[in-house]
Amino acid sequence: MSKLNRACTVVVAVWGALAGSIPSRGAEAGLGGLNGEAARGKQLYRRYCVGCHGVKGDGQGDNAPYMDPRPRDFTTGTFKCRSTPTGTLPLESDLFSTIGRGIFASSMPSWKSLTAQERADLLAFVKDFCPRWTTEKPQPALEIPPEPPGTTESIAKGAKIYERMECWKCHGKDGSGNGPSATTLTDNKERPIVPYDFTKGARFKCGRTNEDLYKIFMTGLDGTPMPSFKDNLPADEAWDLVHYLRTLQAGLKK
């Protein structure tokens, strides 16, 4: 046997041992007409996710040290992109959307190449890593009122709210993520984290629509310094802030 073949045999053996240790308690995910099964999702996780998120789902995959931001730790049940209140589990539909959409400004790609059934199966397996899914239920989704017109008056109000809520301390006066607090921020694992730069394109961490941005304000990005403004910002002011932030984006400035 050649050295190359022996090396390949060792790699396959190690990979098999690691993959076999990935848990599968038989969790399920119900998404409308789709029924995801963890047993099927396990194979997808082994193929597409383990290199970043790790065998234990703790974000400690082989690729993780080379990634910034680091991969999500599934064992805590803490997720940035949610439609549910801060500190609570996301809806299954939230995670399903994240798998398909990906996370902008991170190494998490869109997995729209997978079928809807495969994404549902993968979601079911990801839930297996966190016991919270067996002891807690996600809270109802945030109610999002209809968006008012993005008038000049609304944008002007949004600029004042940006100042009043001190968004500039992290995101900067021009929204480019260079505020005075930017270099001091850390995530829930005490790792440095950079504020979002609103001047780069039309995408946000958790989507691209005005409704997506509104949702970020009101739910917060759990695991990051971005808080929920639900108890501090009336709906009409949140929409004003959305309209103002849109004017900071590249190609949308007047």
How much is the average pLDDT of 172-180?
Answer: 96
What are the backbone dihedrals phi and psi of residue 233, each rounded to the nearest 5 degrees, phi first? -135, 115
Q: What's the pTM?
A: 0.84
What is the pLDDT, as a whole number, of residue 33? 78
DSSP-derived secondary structure for 32-43: TTEEEEHHHHHH
What is the C-alpha separation between 204 and 215, in angstroms, rounded?
11
Q: Could you identify the residue written with the tokens 């730069």? A: 197
H-type helices in 172-219, by residue range?
Answer: 210-219
For residue 45, the Cα-to-chain-centroid distance in whole angstroms is: 17
d(CA 218, CA 238): 8
> Does residue 62 surpass a pLDDT of 50?
yes
Report whether 212 contacts 206 (CB < 8 A): yes
**What are the chain's domains?**
27-135 (1.10.760.10), 152-248 (1.10.760.10)
Q: How confident is the model at residue 9 (pLDDT cuts 50, 70, 90)?
A: very low
Confidence class for position 19, pLDDT limits 50, 70, 90: very low
Burial class (CB in 10 A: 0-12, 13-18, 19+), 247: middle
Confirm if 219 and 228 have CB atoms less than 8 A apart. yes
Residue 203 confidence (pLDDT): 83
For the purposes of burial, counting CB atoms within 10 Å of the CB of 245, is it exposed (0-12), middle (13-18) or buried (19 or more)? Answer: buried
* Model confidence at 8: pLDDT above 80: no
Q: Which residues pair with 34 in a beta bridge?
A: 31
pLDDT, tens only, 181-214: 999 999 999 999 999 999 987 788 899 999 999 9
50/233 Cα distance (integer angstroms): 39
Residue 159: CB partners within 8 Å, gap ≥ 6?
Answer: 244
pLDDT tens-digit profile of 23-59? 544 455 667 778 899 999 999 999 999 999 999 999 9
Average pLDDT, the chain: 88
Q: What is the pLDDT of residues 82-134, one digit of tens each?
A: 999 999 999 999 999 999 999 988 999 999 999 999 999 999 999 999 999 99
